Structure 1
Amino acid sequence: MLSSSFGAAATAYAEHRPDYARAAVWWARELAPGPRVLDLGAGTGKMSATLVASGADVVAVEPDLAMLAELHRALPSVRALSGSAEAIPLPDASVDAVLAGNALHWFDMAVAGPEIARVLAPGGILAGLWNVLDDRIDWVADLERVSGSAAIGPRDTLSSWRTATADLLVPSTGLVAHFGPAEQAEFAHGQGRTADSLVATLATRAGMLVMSDPDREAALGRIRAFLGSRPETARGEFTVPMLTGVLRARRR
């Protein structure tokens, strides 16, 4: 299952996946009635680290024990619990915001939506955040074509993420009883990479992790050859142009 594939690459995920634009994290929680924030599907703590730096009172919940171990190692002061979006180990109305970094699309929102509403205080905020590649840049658009959907999927580029995420909080999920209309916004971001480290980053994508070893190595070889052929990426460190996209809604 794609959503359970990350644990096998927890160390690489912690090393190579980007953090989230600070402005995006701030916008995601700026309407929250207080400082208590749940990082749901927290992974190795990429979001939690930014939240701690912003002064939030953070609790993290993550179902994969290998990812949770990396979070404990990186952020020993953060309260981190084993649990899932469908069964959150927190009391009713115990947080002011629930943020999910590159995770909301994995949740069974018919179950997770009411559960998130349960732990949120009235007026609290639910927000999903995604780091997306800026495919308005020519070499990034070419990289997407070379990489294939296993490495760069429908929520991974600016041109597709709004459409791919807009329906996650629609009335058909039953969330209309709990949350108001959703808003979307994007915030400029970037990640310093080399060709080798960008290949390593793309290797942590769920679609890549579930490939057979020969297919994965072939795909990574194509990506490595492409990066070596482009003047923007062939030598030394470069900035991967990205944005952090946010989908947020307020609890009724």
Structure 2
Amino acid sequence: MDQDERLLHSSSFGAAALAYDEHRPDYAQAAVRWALEPAPGIRVLDLGAGTGKLTATLVALGADVTAVEPAPGMLAELRRSLPRVRTLAGGAEAIPLPDASVDAVLAGNAMHWFDMAVAGPEIARVLAPGGILAGLWNLMDDQVEWVAELARVSGSAAVGPRDTPAAWRAATADMHLPNTGVAARFGSPEQAEFPHGQRRTAGSLVATLATRAGVLVMPEQEREVTLGRIRAFLAGRPETARGEFTLPMLTGVLRVRRL
């Protein structure tokens, strides 16, 4: 994905902030705890915080959280749902915080939108010595047969290159390469995955997939065809055709320590 395409996709969420907040999953608490384990303190920056899905988990775990989000619509929803959290408008490439002011920087389903050549040094700037940078991604567990088939039927716009475990491991492995702005300032990366799940109905799972950037930027007719194909698949599967079910998921974490 080139720079212009990445900007188009990353800026698509603001108009869908309400749907994003309603339908996107939270993050496995065990994954968030693991991300924070080596941090020297509890001052945490949630970078690219969206509507506060990760922010809420951090607050529940007792972190002192600052949430930074560039999209006005997402930021407004975050402020509505978590009014006591400190929130700032800004992005990973220009973080509105002083040097060495946080002990950990976490990003939930957001780091792949960052220009890491610029964001890497900027994240290192705001981190205290020994601080942690961690990206978290919610993944569909495609070891479950019907989930793997859903990914195939949905297409890459709805279930993208970081949405299943093997693809996520491969896609995040290159985030530590020298040209990302991370390698010179951070130690060796660690990856881990934690069981997770989300209670859905067929309708709410379609609504969840409709908040994916690849779907949001589609022409309306193509979007309806894609979502219709997913509806038909879910209606034909015994696991998803009637009532609520749990979508099998994992939360994947990529973690590095500030040198």
- Whether these two folds match at TM > 0.5 is yes
Q: Does 1:66 align with 2:73?
A: yes
CA RMSD of superposed structures (Å):
0.6
Q: Deviations over 1:199-245 (max 9, x none)?
A: 00000000000001110001000000000000000000000000000
| Deviations 1:19-44 (CA, angstroms, capped at 9, x unpaired) | 00000000001100000000000000
SS in 2 for 1:175: coil
| Structure 1 equivalent of residue 168 of structure 2 | 161
Among 196, 199, 202, the residue aligned to 1:195:
202
Contact 2:119 2:181 (C-alpha < 8 Å) held by counterparts? no
Tell me the TM-score normalised to structure 1 length: 0.99
1:113 to partner: Cα distance:
0.3
Question: In structure 1, what is the Cα distance between the partners aligned to 2:171 and 2:254?
Answer: 11
Q: Secondary structure, in 3 states, of the residue corresponding to 1:124?
A: strand
Map of 2:237 onto structure 1? 230
Identity %: 77
1:11 aligns with 2:22: no
Task: Give per-residue Cα distances to partners, 1:74-129, cap 9 Å, x unaligned.
Answer: 10000010000000000000000000000000000000000000000000000000
| CA distance, structure 2, for counterparts of residue 159 and residue 113 of structure 1 | 24
* Cα contact 1:135–1:159 (8 A) shared by 2: no
The one-letter amino acid of 1:8's match is: A
Counterpart for residue 5 of structure 2:
none
CA contact (8 A) 1:35 1:96 kept: yes
What are the equivalent positions in structure 2 for 1:101-116 lying under 5 Å apart?
101-116=108-123
Is the deviation greater in 12-21 or in 154-163? Answer: 154-163
Alignment of 1:173-252 (within 5 A): 173-252=180-259
Which residue of structure 1 aligns with residue 38 of structure 2?
31
Report how many aligned residue pairs link the two structures. 252
1:132 to 131, 139, 150: 139
Q: Which residue identity does 2:64 align to in structure 1?
A: D
Counterpart-to-counterpart distance in 2, 1:197 and 1:31: 36
Q: So what's the TM-score if we normalise by structure 2? A: 0.96
Runs of 5+ unmatched residues, structure 2: 1-7
Aligned-partner SS, 2:79: helix
